[in-house]
């Protein structure tokens, strides 16, 4: 990559590059034209656009939190942890069982009041903590069992191990929890599909409480993580390991410890995403992490893999593309995944470093 960058100065005309630019310009002109037509024809009112945007941003914020898990691990180990979606699934199941358990504890038999409804905020906090803890522990053991023995191996080997771990975790969950779909029981203050009404263009657009919780919590988690990596002493040692493991080790940093902790942090974020997914979307089963995992990976690449703000922007952009894309292009909503993955391909071709991608060092490429 950096080689071709330096060559660009020497070679005056690069035909491939010109074709790339022309194609991308045509693509943006086409999308812009479609967008203009759809707005001019007035197919959708302002309320509809707002609903699309809300739906996209909520989904996008979950993608962003999962994408951070990919990005953190990639930043340190330069490998794609494909089992991350399954870590999220484990978090979702943990939150489900916490709610189930708290629902079955009765604190006031007179009015049949369960713990879940009596201490609602506390219950939600417990669900998130347990979900994050279980996912973090799973992330730790995933690294110990599936990745650490392959630390020195060629980069394709841990990737295959990751895919194997993903399939293993899915099937283990199917055996343990059964193939049945389950519905999250939310505390009564957090009902699904109910929320604030925003009047716009003569219609009320609903912003659900669960959606707002998901969005706000995602942003808080991302800011917290960014502060951890950029502003603390611990974050500095993480960045040092990402830069160069040998040199970091020479400076007295325990590289294995840092890598383990990275998996714990990324697992905890995945677990939080799982609980958010359950609270907002409601239905979970053993396969629930797979597609969001792939989408979040797309989001991470879109924003620039290895880059924390990039993963966040990538997640939001992907969420918006999924909800707005089919409407703007005027095609079937069944094709929204096609649009999302086409964007992945386009990004890989035209801008492999992503929207806010850093200039990668020789070693990372």
Here the tokens at position 136 are: 């973090």
Alpha helices in 232-285 (DSSP H): 233-243, 245-250, 255-281
CB nearer another protein, residue 74 or residue 277: 277
Which residues would be at the binding site for another protein (CB under 8 A)?
A: 43-45, 47-48, 51-52, 55-56, 59, 179-181, 183, 192-195, 203-206, 208, 211, 277, 280-283, 285, 287-288, 291-292, 322-324, 326-327, 332-334, 336-337
Q: What DSSP character marks residue 205?
A: E
For another protein, which is the closer residue by CB, 151 or 192?
192
Minimum separation from the CB atom of position 191 to another protein (A): 8
The residue among 302 and 327 lying less far from another protein, judged by its C-beta, is: 327
Query: CB of 28: closest distance to another protein in angstroms?
Result: 22
Whole-number minimum distance, CB 143 to another protein, in Å? 27
Closest distance of CB 291 from another protein, Å = 8
Which residue from 207, 189, 166 is spatially nearest to 290, judged by alpha carbons? Answer: 166
For another protein, give the closer residue by CB, 82 or 209.
Answer: 209
In the bound state with another protein, the residue whose beta carbon lies nearer, of 149 and 191, is 191
The least distance separating another protein from the CB of residue 212, rounded to whole angstroms, comes to 12
Residue 299 structure tokens: 């989001």
Q: Where are the beta strands (DSSP E) in the chain?
A: 106-108, 113-114, 182-183, 195-200, 203-208, 283-284
The least CB distance from residue 130 to another protein, in Å, is 21
Kindly report each contact of residues 229-232 with a partner whose C-beta sits within 8 Å and lies 24 or more positions away, as own/partner: 229/308
Q: Which is nearer to another protein, 71 or 208 (CB)?
A: 208
What is the C-alpha separation between 340 and 327, in angstroms, rounded? 14
What are the structure tokens assigned to 340, written together?
């999302």
CB of residue 285 vs another protein: minimum separation in angstroms? 8
CB of 225 to another protein, least distance (A): 24
Parallel, antiparallel, or unpaired for β 203-208 and 106-108?
unpaired
Query: Which DSSP symbol is given to 34?
Result: H
CB of 32 to another protein, least distance (A): 20
Q: Compare residues 3 and 332 and give the one whose CB is closer to another protein.
A: 332
Q: Please, which residue, 116 or 242, has the CB nearer to another protein?
A: 116
User: In whole angstroms, how far apart are CA 223 and each of 12, 184, 310?
Assistant: 43, 27, 13
The residues that bridge with 208 in the sheet, in sequence order, are 195
3-state secondary structure of 252: coil
Q: Whose Cβ is closer to another protein: residue 150's or residue 200's? A: 200
CA 141/CA 147 separation, integer angstroms: 9
Q: What are phi and psi of 230, to 5 degrees?
A: -95, -30
Q: How far is the CB of 136 from another protein (least distance, A)?
A: 23
CA angle (253, 257, 258) in 5-degree steps: 70
What is the Cα–Cα distance from 97 to 215, expressed in whole angstroms? Answer: 23
For residue 300, CA distances in Å to 99, 155, 269 come to 31, 19, 14
User: By C-beta, is 76 or 316 nearer to another protein?
Assistant: 316
Give the span between the Cα atoms of 339 and 332, in whole angstroms: 11
């Amino acid at each position: 990559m950096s080689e071709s960058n330096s060559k660009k100065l020497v070679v005056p005309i690069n035909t491939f590059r010109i074709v790339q630019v022309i194609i991308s310009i045509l693509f943006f002109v086409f999308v812009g034209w479609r967008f203009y037509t759809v707005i001019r024809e007035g197919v959708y009112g302002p309320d509809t656009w707002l609903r699309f945007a809300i739906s996209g941003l909520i989904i996008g914020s979950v993608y962003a939190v999962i994408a951070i898990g990919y990005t953190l691990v990639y930043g340190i180990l330069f490998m794609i942890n494909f089992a991350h979606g399954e870590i999220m699934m484990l978090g979702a199941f943990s939150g489900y069982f916490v709610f189930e358990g708290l629902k079955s504890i009765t604190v006031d038999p007179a009015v049949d009041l369960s713990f879940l409804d009596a201490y609602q905020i506390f219950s939600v906090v417990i669900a998130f903590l347990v979900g994050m803890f279980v996912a973090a522990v799973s992330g730790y053991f995933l690294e110990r069992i599936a990745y650490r023995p392959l630390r020195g191996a060629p980069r394709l080997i841990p990737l295959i191990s990751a895919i194997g771990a993903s399939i293993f975790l899915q099937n283990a969950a199917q055996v343990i929890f059964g193939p049945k779909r389950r519905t999250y029981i939310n505390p009564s203050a957090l009902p699904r599909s109910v929320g604030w009404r925003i009047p716009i263009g003569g219609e009320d657009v609903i912003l659900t409480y669960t959606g707002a919780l998901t969005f706000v919590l995602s942003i808080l988690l991302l800011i917290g993580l960014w502060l951890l990596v950029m502003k603390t002493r611990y974050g500095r040692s993480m960045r040092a390991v990402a830069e160069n493991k040998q040199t970091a080790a020479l400076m007295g940093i325990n590289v294995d410890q840092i890598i383990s902790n990275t998996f714990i942090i990324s697992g905890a974020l995945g677990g939080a995403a799982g609980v958010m997914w359950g609270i907002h979307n409601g239905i979970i089963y053993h396969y629930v992490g797979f597609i969001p995992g792939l989408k979040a990976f797309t989001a991470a690449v879109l924003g620039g893999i290895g880059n924390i703000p990039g993963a966040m922007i990538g997640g939001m952009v992907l969420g918006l593309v999924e909800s707005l894309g089919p409407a703007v292009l005027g095609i079937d909503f069944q094709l929204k995944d096609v649009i999302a993955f086409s964007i992945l391909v386009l990004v890989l071709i035209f801008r492999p470093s992503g929207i806010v991608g850093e200039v990668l060092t020789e070693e990372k490429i």
